[in-house]
Amino acid sequence: MSIPKHQHFIPRAYLKNFAVNQGDKFLVEAKLRDESATKKDLISIKDICVNKNLYTLPNKTGDEKYALENYYADEIDKVYPEVYDWLVNPQVVKITPEQRMKIVMTTMSLFFRTPKFLNSNQRTINALLNYAINNAQDKDGNIKFKFREYNLDFNIKDIEEVRNNLKIDNKSKFLQGHLKDWHDFVSFKLKSAISVYKIYEETELITSDNPVIMHSVENNPFDLFDPTNIISLPLDNKHYLTIFPNTEEVMLDTIHRTDRDKWFALTTNIQVEKNCEDWILGKPNSVIAHLADQIKYNEENAENLQAVADIKQRGEDGMELLAVMQEFGFVHIKVAEKVKEMLKQKIHRDDLEIQKIAKRLNQFGFATD
C-alpha cells in the first residue's frame, strides 16, 4: 500500500473538469492571486491544490495515520465523477434521496477540507506567541499569558518546542473539527433547493483553490449555520451549482436547471477570484480571458452600469420565481402569473430560461403571454 503523503485538498476528480487532457496529464491554466499574469506554462493538476501530509493524523501509526486521507479517497473522490455526471446531465431532473445526499456531501467537502481554516488558526497562534513574547516576558525569559483557550507558561528558550506543540494541537483540532462541522452542515443543508446553471454564451467559468462560495442573501455576518446562506460552486467551464437558503417547502427530488448568459459568468468569475486563497484555475485561455474581461467590463460606461443593474434585478426576480415554485409546485397558476409578469420586463424577454419555463407552462394550459 502506497503512503499518501502528498494529499489533494481539492481532488483531481474535480480539477480535471477544468483541465485539458494532454497525453497522460490533465493540465490547467493558473494564476497566483498576487501576480498580475498567468503562469507561462499550463500546470498539471497533480501539482496544484496539494499539501504534504495535510490529512495525516498526528501521533498515529500504520494505516490509522492515513485513515482520513483514505476516507476522502474512497468516499468522496471516487464518488465525485458520478455526482458530476448527474449535475451536468440535462436529462437528470429527478433524483433519489441517496443521490441528493451524495451531491451535498461531495460538493460541500470542497469547503471544509481546504487548509484555509488550518492556516487561519496557525496565523492566530503565531500572532498570539509574538504578542506574548513582546508583552508578557519577564527579565528571566519566563512567559505567562492566557487568551481564550490558550494558557501559555514557558521560557523563551523553549519557544520553538511550544510553537511546534501548538501547531500539532491546531492540526488535530482542525482534522477533528472540520469533519464534525462538515457532517453537521450536510444534514443542515440536505433539504435545500439545488440548481445547476449552464452558460450558453462563449464566456467560460473559472475555479480556484477555494471554490465553494458561501454568503447570506440577507447580508448577515458570516455564520456557517445561517439558514439564509446561499452556496455556489463552479462545476466546469460551463456549469455552476447553487444550493439555496433553507426553506420550509422544497422539491427534494428535483435538480432545477437554468441557462445563464455571459454577464452571469463574468460576475461569477469575479466572485471566484475574490474567494480564492492563492490560485485561480481554468481551461487554457479562460483565466487570461477573465483578466481581460475585468478590464473591459469594469469601465464605468452606461452599457456596463446598466448590465450590472440588470444582473442584480434578474437575480432577485429569479429568487422570487424559485420561491413561488417551491411553495406551489411548477404547474400552478401562481408560477404562470410570475412568469408572465417577468416577460413584460425588457431584461427577461431574451432570457432563454424564462422562455423555456413559459413554453412548458403553455403546454400545461397556462398562458404566459
Tell me the C-alpha distance between 49 and 7, whole Å: 9
Question: For the whole model, what pTM was predicted?
Answer: 0.75
Per DSSP, the residues of 1-33 read: -----EEESS-HHHHGGGSEEETTEEEEEEEET
How far is residue 97's CA from residue 36's CA, in Å, rounded to a whole number? Answer: 45
Q: Pick the closest to residue 261 from 330, 336, 363, 355 (CA basis).
A: 355
Higher-confidence residue of 258 and 102: namely 102
Confidence of residue 151 (pLDDT cuts 50, 70, 90): confident
Contact 110, 119 (CB under 8 A): no
Mean pLDDT of the region 210-239: 91
Task: Compute how many other C-beta atoms are within 10 angstroms of the C-beta atom of residue 80.
Answer: 22
- Given this model, what pLDDT does residue 173 score? 76
Q: Check whether 245 has a pLDDT greater than 70.
A: yes
CB under 8 Å to 91, separation ≥6 — which residues? Answer: none
* pLDDT tens digits, one per residue of 169-218: 877 777 777 778 888 999 999 988 899 999 988 899 999 999 999 998 88
* Measured CA distances, 356 to 233, 310, 312, 328, 363 (Å): 24, 20, 21, 19, 11
- Cβ proximity of 95 and 253 under 8 Å: yes
Amino acid identity at 86: W
Q: What is the pLDDT of residues 126-144, one digit of tens each?
A: 888 888 888 888 989 998 8
Instruction: For residue range 20-46, list pLDDT tens digits in order.
Output: 998 889 999 999 888 877 888 899 998
- How many whole angstroms from its chain centre is CA 347? 28
Q: How many of the other CB atoms lie within 10 Å of CB of 208? A: 28
Q: Confidence band (pLDDT; 50, 70, 90) for 6? A: low
| Contact yes or no for 198/125 (Cβ under 8 A) | no
In the beta sheet, which residues pair with residue 28? 43
pLDDT digits (tens, 9 = 90+) for 160-169: 888 888 887 8
Radius of gyration of the chain (CA): 24
Residues 6+ apart with CB under 8 A from 283: 18, 19, 20, 28, 29, 204, 237
Maximum separation of any 2 CA atoms in the chain, in Å = 86
Give the integer Cα–Cα distance in Å for 308 and 118: 36
pLDDT 10s digits, 307-358: 667 777 777 887 788 788 877 877 888 888 888 888 888 888 777 777 778 8
CB 257 within 8 A of CB 195: yes
Residue 31 DSSP class: E
How do residues 248-290 score in pLDDT, each as one tens digit? Answer: 556 788 898 888 888 889 889 999 999 998 899 999 999 998 8
CA distance 30 to 44: 10
